Chains A and B, each alone.
Chain A
Amino acid sequence: MEEIEMEGTNYLTVAYLGMITAIALWTWTVVVRSRSIEARLEAVELSIGINASLADEIAVQSNVNSQDDATV
């Protein structure tokens, strides 16, 4: 029977527990954040009737400014 090396096994446990916790927390946070913001947005957009294609206003504005600069 293989001899159990306790110290190494402890390190192994600590490493994997840390990583499992990280994966679980990261995934949970991201999924919950996504669902919550989706629900909030749907409610707000429905109430004011906004167009979703104009979402990234900074990129849209930045592109407009670049085109203006090019034509000057």
Chain B
Amino acid sequence: MRRRVPELCLGIGFVGIMSTLFLGLNWAPSVSINAFESPAAQRIFYWHVPSAWAAFIAFGVLFTGSALWFFKRSPLGWRLHVAGAEAGLACGLMTVWSGCVWGAAEWGTPWDWTDVRLNTFGLLTLLALFLVLGRQSQPDGVETRDTFSTFGLYGFVLVPLTYVATRIWQIRHPGPVIAAGDDGGSLQSSMTLVLLIGALSFTIFIIGHMMISMRITHLEQRLEQAQKSLDGGN
């Protein structure tokens, strides 16, 4: 049963994500046509925000794993690093993709190079891409792990920077709509509910993914060890 927990998380998360999509498209109210250039495209928000939230969780796991490997030489730390980088890349790409499509609909351009949040989040996703591709192309070893862990540690500085970006420099990306301060944000309660279901679902889904990813890394290490034993025996 314990071995199936990751698959269970994936299943529950997936059902939740699909429910979020259904509720976002059919139940959540429309936004004012005066406030948005493209009110229909605003519904992208119901996956865009939760996937960004999930990406931040993944980058947190990447940071923790990098620190555990770098300072404690923990095998668990390295597996967390790998899982965090893969999940961060997947969720980061989903966030960037949905953001670009919404930007094209709302702003008339998919990207704004002057917007701090867009660029710091884009850099985070590129960092995850570098870590995933780099690990696949380099032979596994202490130096390789140390190098990638250093990137994981220093790259994390972009997470708080991305979080505060729209609070300090609001250029194009909208400011916070929930947990925005004393006024409680600008969302209707039904919109907030759909968004929370989405955030919870993406969180469960990404936890399942990271557990499977950690298992794969462990299995790859065992396979490598087994192959070395096999080569040594011949």
A binding-site residues for B, Cβ under 8 Å: 2, 5, 7-9, 11-12, 14-16, 18-19, 22-23, 26-27, 30-31, 33-34, 37-38, 40-41, 44-45, 48, 50, 52, 54-63, 66
Within 8 A of A (CB), among B10-53: 10, 14, 17, 21, 25, 30, 38-44, 47-48, 51
Q: How far is the CA of A5 from the CA of B221 in the complex (A)?
A: 53
Is the CB of B125 closer than 8 A to any CB of chain A?
no
- The prevalent SS among residues of A at the interface is helix
- B44 adjacent to A37 (CB under 8 Å): no
| B226 CB contacts on chain A under 8 angstroms | 41, 44-45, 48, 50
Which residue in chain A gives the minimum CB-CB distance to B144? Answer: A58
The one of B10, B78, B101 that contacts A15, using a Cβ cutoff of 8 Å: B101
- A8 adjacent to B227 (CB under 8 Å): no
Q: How far is the CA of A60 from the CA of B225 in the complex (A)?
A: 12
- B142 adjacent to A62 (CB under 8 Å): yes
Q: How far is the CA of A26 from the CA of B90 in the complex (A)?
A: 7
Within 8 A of A (CB), among B193-232: 205, 209, 212-213, 215-216, 218-230
| A7 CB contacts on chain B under 8 angstroms | 38, 40, 105
Q: A7-B105, A56-B75 given as contacts; is B47 within 8 A of A38 (CB)? A: no
Size category, B interface: 35 or more
- B209 adjacent to A30 (CB under 8 Å): yes
Q: How far is the CA of A34 from the CA of B213 in the complex (A)?
A: 8
Q: A18-B98, A55-B225, A56-B221 given as contacts; is B41 within 8 A of A12 (CB)? A: yes
Is the CB of B163 closer than 8 A to any CB of chain A?
no
For the complex formed, measure the closest distance between the CB of A45 and the CB atoms of chain B, giving whole angstroms.
5
Residue contacts A-B, CB under 8 angstroms, 13 given: A11-B41, A11-B44, A12-B105, A15-B98, A19-B47, A19-B94, A27-B10, A40-B223, A44-B223, A44-B227, A56-B78, A58-B145, A60-B75
- The prevalent SS among residues of B at the interface is helix
- A44 adjacent to B78 (CB under 8 Å): no
* Contact code string B63-78 (vs A, CB < 8 Å = 1, else 0): 0000000000111001
Is the CB of B141 closer than 8 A to any CB of chain A?
yes
| B140 CB contacts on chain A under 8 angstroms | 58
Q: How far is the CA of A8 from the CA of B219 in the complex (A)?
A: 45
Is the CB of B93 closer than 8 A to any CB of chain A?
yes
- B230 adjacent to A57 (CB under 8 Å): no
- B75 adjacent to A59 (CB under 8 Å): yes
Q: How far is the CA of A63 from the CA of B14 in the complex (A)?
A: 39
- B7 adjacent to A55 (CB under 8 Å): no
Q: Which 6 A-B pairs have the closest CB atoms?
A: A8-B40, A11-B105, A15-B101, A59-B75, A56-B75, A8-B38
| B21 CB contacts on chain A under 8 angstroms | 16
Q: Which of B51, B101, B228 has most chain A Cβ within 10 Å? A: B101
